[in-house]
């Protein structure tokens, strides 16, 4: 997937449970498995071979079909603003699979006894539980015009994904033109599943502020868009952290 993933585990008192090492190993294995199957950087991965036409979907591991089905559903429900089939070189589900892989890694800590867990895939975060204090996690959103500063802080009780070009340059493809292009400087989506939040953040970054209306089609998802003109727009229940709270 061409990125770095960190896992933070919070406990209410003392060391983590006896099975912590096994859970961590399983979570890391999930991430490596996803990379081995879906990496577009590895020419030998099944997805790379699928993109080159060397194998068909039936020749891929079954999770490829499941991910592509989810991508197709997201494409249809975003009116095509998220479209892995519009990427140069063939289908590229990276805009969904990074969050999907992080969500699968998080699942390895279910019923672990941890107070809270964060799986951070290059700023796209899947979370479970709370801080040991009982408070939700607080996650900063970078200002796309000065990434060392924060544009906002979110009280996170699920997942958060941000998409933009301020770190990686013009890598987001506008499906309507087939060329790099965005109508927002950055877009952030929160919701219960990081794979879908990741896809929706990509769609919003490309579509811009008008894409916020699309989120009404998805239960539990909220969005924030920062325009190229520094304007801001968000959905009614976007979980901003209260000032001073």
Identify which of 145, 114, 97, 120 has the alpha carbon closest to the alpha carbon of residue 18.
Answer: 114
Which residues are CB-neighbours of 9 under 8 A, at least 6 positions away? 16, 20, 24, 109, 112, 114, 116, 117
pTM of the model: 0.94
The CATH code of domain 5-234 reads 3.10.520.10
Predicted confidence (pLDDT) per residue in 212-223, tens digit: 999 999 999 999
State the pLDDT at residue 126. Answer: 98
Distance CA 159, CA 161 (A): 7
Weakest-pLDDT range from 9-18, 84-93, 94-103, 220-229: 9-18
Q: What is the pLDDT of residue 113?
A: 84
Alpha helices in 78-220 (DSSP H): 94-107, 194-207
For the segment 32-85, what is each residue's pLDDT rounded down to a tens digit? 999 999 999 999 999 999 999 999 999 999 999 999 999 999 999 999 999 999
What average pLDDT is seen over the chain? 94
Kindly state the average pLDDT of the residues 203-211. 96
- Residues 7-36: what's their mean pLDDT? 89
- Domain borders along the chain are 5-234
Report pLDDT for 243: 67
Over the stretch 134-152, which tens digit does the pLDDT of each residue have? 999 999 999 999 999 999 9
In this structure, how many other beta carbons lie within 10 angstroms of the beta carbon of residue 15? 7
Closest C-alpha among 90, 74, 98, 67 to residue 211: 74
Q: Spell out the residues 6+ positions from residue 160 whose beta carbon is closer than 8 angstroms to its own.
A: 124, 125, 139, 154, 188, 189, 190, 197
């Amino acid at each position: 997937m061409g990125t770095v993933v960190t896992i933070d585990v919070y406990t209410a008192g003392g060391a983590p449970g006896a099975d912590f090492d096994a859970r961590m190993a399983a979570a890391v294995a999930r991430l490596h498995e996803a990379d081995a199957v879906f990496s577009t950087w590895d020419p030998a991965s099944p997805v790379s071979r699928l993109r080159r036409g060397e194998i068909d979907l039936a020749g891929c591991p079954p999770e490829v079909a499941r991910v592509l089905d989810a991508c197709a559903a997201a494409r249809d429900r975003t009116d095509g603003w998220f479209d892995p089939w519009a990427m140069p070189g063939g289908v590229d589900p990276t805009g969904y699979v990074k969050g999907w892989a992080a969500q699968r890694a998080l699942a390895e800590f279910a019923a672990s006894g941890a107070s809270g867990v964060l799986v951070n895939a290059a700023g796209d975060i899947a979370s479970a539980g709370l801080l040991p204090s009982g408070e939700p996690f607080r996650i900063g959103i970078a200002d796309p015009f000065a990434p060392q500063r924060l544009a906002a802080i979110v009280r996170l009780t699920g997942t958060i994904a941000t998409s933009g070009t301020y770190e990686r340059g013009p890598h987001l493809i506008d499906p309507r033109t087939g060329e790099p292009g965005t109508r927002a400087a950055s877009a952030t989506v929160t919701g219960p599943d990081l794979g879908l939040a990741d896809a929706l953040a990509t769609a919003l970054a490309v579509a811009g502020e008008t894409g916020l209306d699309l989120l009404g089609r998805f239960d539990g998802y909220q969005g924030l868009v920062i325009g190229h003109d520094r304007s801001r727009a968000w959905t009614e229940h976007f979980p901003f952290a209260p000032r001073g709270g």
